[in-house]
Amino acid sequence: MPVEYLSASGFSTLMAQLLYNRGVRPEEIDPFLASDHRLEGNPFLLPDIAQAVSRVYKALLSREKVAIYGDFDVDGVTATVILVEGLSSLGADVTLYLPDRSSEGHGLKIAALERIAAQGVALVITVDCGVTDLIEVERAQQMGMDMIITDHHIPPDRLPQAVAVVDPKRKDSVYPHPDLAGAGVAYKLLQALFHKNSREQSLARFLDLVALATVTDLSPMVGENRYLVKAGLRELNNSSRLGIQEMVKLAGLKLGELGSEDIAWVLGPRLNAAGRINDASTSYKVLTTQSSEEARLLALELEKKNVERQRLSQEGLSRARERLTAKLHLPVLMEGDESYLVGIIGLVAGKLVDEFYKPAVVVSIGPELCRGSCRSIPEFNIVSALENCRDLVTAFGGHPLAAGFSVPRRNLAELEQRLVDLATEQLSHLDLRPQLAVDAEIPLAVLAGDTFNLIQELGPFGRGNPQPTFLTRQVEVVECRNFGGRGEWLRLKLKQGNVTWRAVDFESRRKREEIPSCMDIVYKLEKSRWNGEQVLSLNLLDFASS
């Protein structure tokens, strides 16, 4: 670590090391830690934003009917709420359309656009979708509707012929923060609209929704996203949204104490559950309801749907794992069946990647058309792979690590063969193993005092800014016992010198008798519940006999 980090940060050696590891340059340390307005991008730098603002104001002045075309995941639903509420506050006549995951899938559909046109809509604004839907955009304009695309997915070489295509990932974009979530892009459009109207101060009420989307959609926690999530968490912890209040209460959380991990592990999955099991309208309503009783009932419904989602995911994973036994030697795991629910195939693919560290594709097979969900590893860009299969699929899109597609059933076997060939070509020479990036090797004594609170200054954590990971050698196991429904997890008491720490192990699935008496451990420092109280403990990620 260069010496200037120590003087620039004014922190301990450990904190300086953590900042260096995250690629934060000495002159960026202050804005990185503050995560304040200095990280915000100017919305007028987004591509086509001027055209979008101009067209929306034309609709406002002419009292045209505007439709927001959303998506069924947390990002799409929150982005829809942001624009429906934001444009309504400017006096727009707004309607919305949330597609059904199982019958329609992601992106624009001509049948849906026909229904929207029949309502007399003159302007359609997409959120979290549309940048790859060239034919659908053209068809909408033939129906007499103008289109504004707001999206954050990777655009194709040719853009849709819309009034505006606002996407920070456009090749010609000069926007300094390309990794916004779909809700982040919708928020920036609103910021540009409100700026023209001198109402920017009322934007803060949407930041809770941006934070929900940014964390749940696994957008990198760098640049502007840090500000949006940090400010959004403040808003979320004081949320006036009745549905959020009820969700927090039902989940056993507390307003005022919510962090990004509560979005990632608790609130996000519940909001996503509705769109996975049937349609996303429950999630939209829970974020917008003005009735306390309705908020309670909707939050209860999301709880039930989340339990159902967990059950279906586990069943799907067990089935996929069993059926893939003969294919585990292949560089990409692809599995399809008529029984897989479209809403859970992405979750199953993600679990397979975690287990086998290979790209995984899970397909819900239909009579004629099949829908697939892909999850990948950093060494294999799944969107590029699908680009190479463009002639076989009817639609595809996503990110390098997560994507989706539709494919005629007759092309399924050929698609699998081509993906296997591409993965063989790109991965066969690599030693593919999941890697743990360790930030620092330290004795347990370093973690005393205010270290945990100092580490929290680096948050919010997420992709691109992971929670710090430490290595400590020669740790004595004082106590160890299994816990959990099937006794698959471990609680431990660990000692080094005169320092003792509680630890939990959710990863190794080992029995107590398999644990060495002295070991080297890799872990994160976290708050956890112990006998009903919140205490600091070590969350073990890996260990080996010393």
445 and 420 in a common domain: no
Residue 194 lies in a domain: yes
Residues 389, 496, single domain; the answer is: no
Please tell me whether residues 176 and 139 are part of one structural domain: yes
Number of helical H runs and strand E runs in the chain: 19, 16
* Residue keyed to tokens 């593919």: 432
Q: What distances in angstroms separate CA 76 from CA 108, 142, 166, 272, 341, one per listed residue?
A: 13, 25, 15, 10, 20
Phi then psi for residue 120, to 5 deg, are 85, 25
Q: Is 242 within the bounds of a domain?
A: no
* Edge-to-edge strands, sheet with 333-337: 333-337, 360-364, 369-375, 402-408, 395-399
Residue 501 within any structural domain of the chain: yes
Domain boundary, last residue among 394, 427, 460: 427
Residues 355 and 494 in one domain: no
Answer yes or no: is pLDDT of 9 > 60.
no
Q: How far apart are CA 351 and CA 329, in angstroms?
A: 17
259 domain-assigned: no
Same domain for 355 and 388, yes or no, is yes
For residues 50 and 19, state if they share a domain: no
Within-domain flag for 151: yes
Which of these ranges, 1-5, 41-45, 148-152, 519-523, has the smallest mean pLDDT?
1-5
466/331 same-domain check: no
Of the candidates 149, 172, 206, which is a domain's last residue? 206
pLDDT computed for residue 106 by the predictor: 85
Examine the domain organization and report whether 151 and 21 are in the same domain. Answer: no
What is the CATH classification number for the domain harbouring 150? Answer: 3.90.1640.30
499 and 366 part of one domain: no
Task: Tell me the residue range of the domain where 513 lies.
Answer: 440-545
Average the pLDDT over 422-434 and give the result. 90
**241-269 pLDDT, tens per residue?**
999 999 999 999 999 999 999 999 999 99
Q: What is the pTM of this model?
A: 0.90
Residue 480: CATH number of its domain: 2.40.50.460
pLDDT tens sequence across 179-205: 999 999 999 999 999 986 667 678 999
Domain count, the chain: 4
In a domain? residue 250: no
Query: What pLDDT, on the 0 to 100 scale, is given for residue 346?
Result: 94
Q: What is the arithmetic mean of pLDDT over 94-120? A: 93
Residue 1 confidence class, pLDDT cut points 50, 70, 90: low
- Domain-ending residue, one of 373, 406, 427: 427
Note the pLDDT tens digit of each residue in 461-482.
998 899 999 999 999 999 998 8
Residue 513, pLDDT above cutoff 90? no
Residue 142, domain member (yes or no): yes
Band (pLDDT 50/70/90 cuts) for residue 460 is: very high
Residue 479, helix vs strand vs coil: strand
Lowest mean pLDDT among 95-109, 219-233, 344-358, 477-491: 477-491
- Number of other CB atoms surrounding residue 38 within 10 Å: 11
Residues 367 and 515 in one domain: no
CA atoms within 13 A on the CB side of 108: 30
Which CATH number belongs to the domain containing residue 419 in this structure? 3.10.310.30
Residue 293 lies in a domain: no
334 with 389, same domain?
A: yes
**202 and 54 housed in the same domain:** yes
